[in-house]
Each structure stands twice: as C-alpha cells, then as structure tokens.
C-alpha cells in the first residue's frame, strides 16, 4: 500500500494547492522545488481557484489495469485560469458532450481503489461549470 506516497501529495490532489515562484512570480502546478520557469529555488504556497477550460480531451476506451471499472472515461488537458495546464479526468459530463474551450471547475473525486481492502485514493477531476455557457 502506497500510504506515504499518497499522503505526501494530499493537499495538491484534494485542494489544487500549488505554488507561485518568489523570484519570477509564475504560477507552478504541481508544486516542485526548482521553478520550471526560472530554475530558482523558493516558492510560496498558492491555492488555485479551480477554474479553467478544456484545452484538449480524449475518451479512453482501453483503460490500463486499475482503471477499467469506469471505462470509457474522458481525460483532458485543462488550462487553469491562472495559466498552467494540467491533466485530469472530466466528470459529471457525457463523453460526447465535451468540447475544447468548455469552461470547467475542479472537484475532488475518487480516482481509484488499491484492491478491495486497499487504499481509496482521491484527487482532482473537473466538471463543466454549472450554469456556464454551452459550447
């Protein structure tokens, strides 16, 4: 069981907590110790808003081991309002309703289970903004 590994990234996965670089002020998600923009060390914790839009998407028909229960599901590249791109599943939406540019917002959902008696791992997914403009 991967308890320490998942415990370490809880805040990032549950709350979309990332960083802002103290030197170049660029937003960083996920958090890391060396700024990918300016390579300086030194970041401040930053809570992202959870708002973004679909940059790209793909409907997974052949899921890997551990993820087959929910196939077919849609994965997406989401462009956060603050700028960074991240990878996540989309939820609360039919696979055929997804469009590039669709406004989405972050929610915390179950990602997977490590077997019947194992850890249940949660993380961020994105759903269409309720009441948002349709594509």
Q: Report the interface residues with another protein, using CB under 8 A.
A: 9, 30, 36, 55-68, 70, 73, 75-77, 84-89, 100, 111-112, 123
The CB-of-131 to another protein minimum distance in angstroms stands at 25
The residue among 77 and 129 lying less far from another protein, judged by its C-beta, is 77
Query: What is the spatial distance between Cα 105 and Cα 116, in angstroms, rounded to a whole number?
Result: 30
Three-state SS string across 2-50, please? CHHHHHHCHHHHHHCEEEEECCCCCEECCCCCECCCCCCECEEEEECCC
The residue among 71 and 131 lying less far from another protein, judged by its C-beta, is 71
The residue among 14 and 67 lying less far from another protein, judged by its C-beta, is 67
The CB-of-69 to another protein minimum distance in angstroms stands at 10
In sequence order, what are the residues at sequence separation of 6 or more whose Cβ sits closer than 8 angstroms to the Cβ of residue 34? 40, 41
The CB-of-67 to another protein minimum distance in angstroms stands at 4
The residue among 1 and 63 lying less far from another protein, judged by its C-beta, is 63
Could you tell me the sign of the dihedral formed by the alpha carbons of 128, 27, 82, 15, in that order?
positive
């Amino acid at each position: 069981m991967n308890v320490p590994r998942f415990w370490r990234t809880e805040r990032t996965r549950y709350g979309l907590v990332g960083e802002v670089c103290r030197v170049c002020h660029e937003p960083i998600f996920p958090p890391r110790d060396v700024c990918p923009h300016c390579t300086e060390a030194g970041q401040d914790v930053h809570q992202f808003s959870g708002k973004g839009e679909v940059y790209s998407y793909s409907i997974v028909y052949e899921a890997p081991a551990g993820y087959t229960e929910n196939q077919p599901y849609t994965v997406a590249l989401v462009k956060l309002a603050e700028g960074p791109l991240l990878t996540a599943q989309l939820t609360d939406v039919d696979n055929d309703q997804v469009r590039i540019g669709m406004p989405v917002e972050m929610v915390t959902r179950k990602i997977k289970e490590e077997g019947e008696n194992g850890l249940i791992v949660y993380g961020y997914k994105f759903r269409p903004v309720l009441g948002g403009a349709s594509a």
